[in-house]
Structure 1
Amino acid sequence: MSIENNRREVNSTDEVSISTDLVEDRLRSDFWREVTRPFYETTPLIGSESPLEGTIKSRQVAGLQIGSVTFNAQRYNRDRRIIAWSGLDQYLIAVVAADMSGNFADTSVKARPGDICVLDLAQILQSDVTAGGMFSTLIPRQILAKATGHANLHGLVLQAHLPMTKLLTTYLGGVGDLRDQLSDGEAAAVQDALVTILAAALRGEQPDDAGELRPLSIALRQRALDFIDHNIQNPDLSPNLILRHFNVSRAHLYRAFAEDGGISSVIRDRRLDAAFLELTRTDVVTRSVSDIAFALGFSNATHFLRGFRTRFGLTPSEARRERPSGQLAPELQAHFLEFGKRASSLSNQQHETPSV
C-alpha cells in the first residue's frame, strides 16, 4: 500500500508504533536510518559496533505531532540536503531523557536528562546522544516565531530545574495523554496555551542581542517569503521586484531579512532548494541540470554549480545519483505508519516456519 493511501487511513487519535526489536539484527541500522530520515542522517557513534536501535510512538493530538522516542547511542546530522528533502519547517520541542551535545548551526549545545531543547528544523545541526530517549512535539513555525519575535531559537535549552521547564514538561505529558477527539476550538486552545507558556520560558533564555523583529517587519518578512515561494520559477524574481510589489523601502525590506544574510541570499537559497528537490524527485519527468537551473533563474551555470556545492556539499549530478529511494509523504504520521507496517511485516517474515 502506498504512503498516499496510508495518509487517508490516519486520524488524529491513531498511535503509530515502530521498533527495531521487530527487525532482525542485520537489517536494524538501515531500517532505523530510513525511519528517522525526515529528521536526521542517523549513524552509530564513532567506535560503536552495535547496530542502530530505537522505538518511536507517534500520534497527532490537538493539532500537534506528539512523539516519544527511545534509542541507543547515536549521532544525528541534519544538513541542507535533509532540510530541503524532508520539507519539515517546524520547531521540534524535545524533553530530553539522555545526554545530548552537539553543534547547532555553529552554536555549541549541551542538554541533560530533564532539560528541554529547541530544534529549528530549518537549520543545520550535528548532535551525539547517549542511550536514552526523548518526548517531543512539533510546533508550526509561524505560531512560535510570532510569539517570540522571530528570534533565533535553535539550540536553546531550558534546564530541568527551572519552574517553567517543569511546567512545560507536565503540560506536554498531559497533552500526550489525551485520547479523545477534541473540538476545533479545544484543540486551538491547547496549542495556544502551549505556545504561550513556551514563549514565556524561552524569552528568559534568549541573549540580549537575539534581535527580535518589529511587528511590521514580521508581517513583511512572511509576505515576502510567500511571494518568493509562489514566484520561485520567475526569472525576474529579485529584490527590486519584491520592493515594487509591496511598495516598501529598501531599508525596510533589508531590515526584515538582516538575520538571513539579506533578501538576495534568501532568494538564491530557496532557488537552490527547489533545484535540489527536483533533482532528487523520482516522480517527475527528468530534465537536464542546465534546464532546471535556467528555469529557476540561474543564467550562469558556473554560479549555479558553485552555489549548489556550497549549500549541499555535492554537485547537482551527484545529488541526482544519490536521490532517496522513495518520496517522503508530506504527512509525517503517514511516513511513520508506513514503517510501522513494514516492521510488522519483517517480524512476520522472521518468525515464519518453512513448510516441510
Structure 2
Amino acid sequence: MNPLPRSTFDSRQLPLKHRYDAWRDSISVVFDYQLQASVPEEQFFASIDNVLFDDAFILSAFHAQAASYERNAARIAADSLDMIMLQFALEGPCQLLASRAQRQCRVGDIVIMDATQPIHNRNARERNITLSVSRQALKNLVKDIESSHLAVIAANEPAAVMLRSHLLALYGNLPQVAAASSPGVIDSTLALAAAALNAALGQATDDSPPLRQSLRARANLLIEQWLHQPAIPIERLAAAVPCSRTRLYALFADDGGVGRYIQRRRLQTAAARLMSARHRHLSITGIACASGFTNMSSFSRAFKLEFGITPRELRRQCANAPAASSNQHMTQGQTSRHYETWVRELLRTH
C-alpha cells in the first residue's frame, strides 16, 4: 500500500543566507512570523514535517527557535482559512496573547486555535505536534466550535492524555498505520479531536457520544499497534484505554465483540500486505505471522471465510499489478513545500 502524502521542510538543507527568508515565506501560508530578537538570523533553523490524511486533516511535527506567530484580521480576511488547530508542545512553553489577557501553556497542554479568529503566540525554542482539521470535518461532532478558540486543556486531563497519546503514536507509526487503514485512522482521530474540543467547551459527560468515540478511537489505535502480537489480552487493552472490561465489550458490540474486531483487522492487514508490491518479498507465512497469526491452517480458513478467496489466490491475482512510483509521495528528509498547497486547498473556506 502506498504511503500517505508527506511533505517536509527543513531550513538546514538550504544555504545559510536563504534559510530564514524561505521559512518565513513558507509558514506565511498560515502565520505572519517574526524571529525573536535574541536569536541571530545566521543561527536560525526550523523544520516542519507534514502528513496529509485524505480531505480531513494534516498532522504536523514542528521544531523551531524562539519566535512569534500571528494571524490578524487582515490576514484572516485575505486567506479565508477555515480550520481548527489542536497543538501540544513537546518542548518549550507557549504564551498565548489574547486581546486582554496572556495565558501560559505548559508542555503537554492541548491548545485550541481557530484560524478564523485572531491568534498571537509567542514561543520559546519549541517542538510541537499540531493537528489541523477542516471545520467541515468536525461540524457534526462539535457544537459551538467557535467558542473553543484559545482554550487550553491541561496536560493531565483525560481528553488531553488520549489525544496526545494518539497523535504521538500515529506520527511515530505512520508507515504501519498507512498500510493498515487510513479511513479508520481518520475516524478515530476526528473522534478524539471532537472529544478534546467538547471537553474544552464543558460539553463532555461520562457517557457522552464524544467520550465513547474517543475511548473507541483509543482502543482502535492500540489494537493497530499490537496487531503483530499473537495475543492481545482484554485486561491489558482495557487498562491501556483506560476503561473497564464491561465498557470495552460495549464499545465493540456493533462489531460482534472486541475479539471479532481484532481478527477482522488482522485479516484486513494481511490482505493489504498480500496485495502490496512493497511486501512481495515476504512469504505468505511471514505476512500471516506479522499480522498476529501463529497457525497457517487457521489463517487460511479464516481468510477464505472473510474474503471468499485464499491468501495464495489473492497474491497470484495481484502478482502482475504494476508497482506504484515512489515519486508520487514525498518522503521524510526531503525539503518540500507541498503542505502549503494542502493548507490552501483543504482548509480554506468553501
Cα distance, 1:47–1:173 mapped onto 2, change above 3 Å: closer
Equivalent residue for 1:193? 188
Matched residues in 2 for 1:181 and 1:187: separation?
7
1:66 deviation in Å?
1.2
Matched residues in 2 for 1:329 and 1:138: separation?
12
Equivalent residue for 2:174? 178
Deviations 1:108-167 (A, max 9, x none): 332111111111111111111000211112111133243221231111112112232121
Matched residues in 2 for 1:179 and 1:41: separation?
33
TM-score after normalising by structure 2 = 0.51
Cα distance, 1:333–1:22 mapped onto 2, change above 3 Å: farther
Is residue 86 of structure 1 aligned with residue 79 of structure 2? yes
Matched residues in 2 for 1:329 and 1:164: separation?
29
Equivalent residue for 2:224? none
Equivalent residue for 2:35? 44
Equivalent residue for 1:165? 160
Cα distance, 1:333–1:13 mapped onto 2, change above 3 Å: farther
Equivalent residue for 1:59? 51
User: What amino acid sits opposite 2:97 in the alignment?
Assistant: N
The 5 Å alignment of 1:169-248 reads: 169-176=164-171, 177-179=173-175, 186-206=181-201
1:179 deviation in Å?
2.1
Matched residues in 2 for 1:107 and 1:145: separation?
29
Equivalent residue for 2:269? none
User: What amino acid sits opposite 1:118 in the alignment?
Assistant: I
1:188 deviation in Å?
3.9
Equivalent residue for 1:148? 142
1:20 to 11, 31, 46: 11
CA RMSD of aligned residues (A): 3.1
User: What amino acid sits opposite 2:342 in the alignment?
Assistant: E
Instruction: Return 5+ residue gaps in structure 2 as ranges.
Output: 204-338
Cα distance, 1:192–1:82 mapped onto 2, change above 3 Å: same
Deviations 1:159-183 (A, max 9, x none): 1122321211111123322326859
Matched residues in 2 for 1:333 and 1:21: separation?
25
Contact 1:14 1:60 (C-alpha < 8 Å) held by counterparts = yes
Deviations 1:323-352 (A, max 9, x none): xxxxx96433999xxxxxxxxxxxxxxxxx
Matched residues in 2 for 1:64 and 1:156: separation?
20
Contact 1:111 1:157 (C-alpha < 8 Å) held by counterparts = yes
Cα distance, 1:80–1:196 mapped onto 2, change above 3 Å: same
Q: Secondary structure at the match of 1:179?
A: helix
Contact 1:71 1:132 (C-alpha < 8 Å) held by counterparts = yes
User: What amino acid sits opposite 2:175 in the alignment?
Assistant: R
Percent identity of equivalent pairs:
17
Matched residues in 2 for 1:36 and 1:119: separation?
16
Cα distance, 1:86–1:143 mapped onto 2, change above 3 Å: same
Q: Give the 4+ runs in structure 1 shifted more than 6 A.
A: none
Cα distance, 1:140–1:102 mapped onto 2, change above 3 Å: same
Deviations 1:198-254 (A, max 9, x none): 33333333269xxxxxxxxxxxxxxxxxxxxxxxxxxxxxxxxxxxxxxxxxxxxxx
Cα distance, 1:120–1:186 mapped onto 2, change above 3 Å: same
Equivalent residue for 2:326? none
1:186 deviation in Å?
4.6
1:75 deviation in Å?
0.8
Contact 2:35 2:66 (C-alpha < 8 Å) held by counterparts = yes
Equivalent residue for 2:342? 331
Matched residues in 1 for 2:192 and 2:4: separation?
24
Equivalent residue for 1:320? none
User: What amino acid sits opposite 1:28 in the alignment?
Assistant: R
2:126 to 104, 122, 132: 132
Q: How many residues align?
A: 205
1:99 to 90, 93, 100: 93
Matched residues in 1 for 2:20 and 2:182: separation?
37
Contact 1:61 1:175 (C-alpha < 8 Å) held by counterparts = no
Equivalent residue for 1:31? 22
Matched residues in 2 for 1:163 and 1:132: separation?
24
Cα distance, 1:155–1:329 mapped onto 2, change above 3 Å: closer
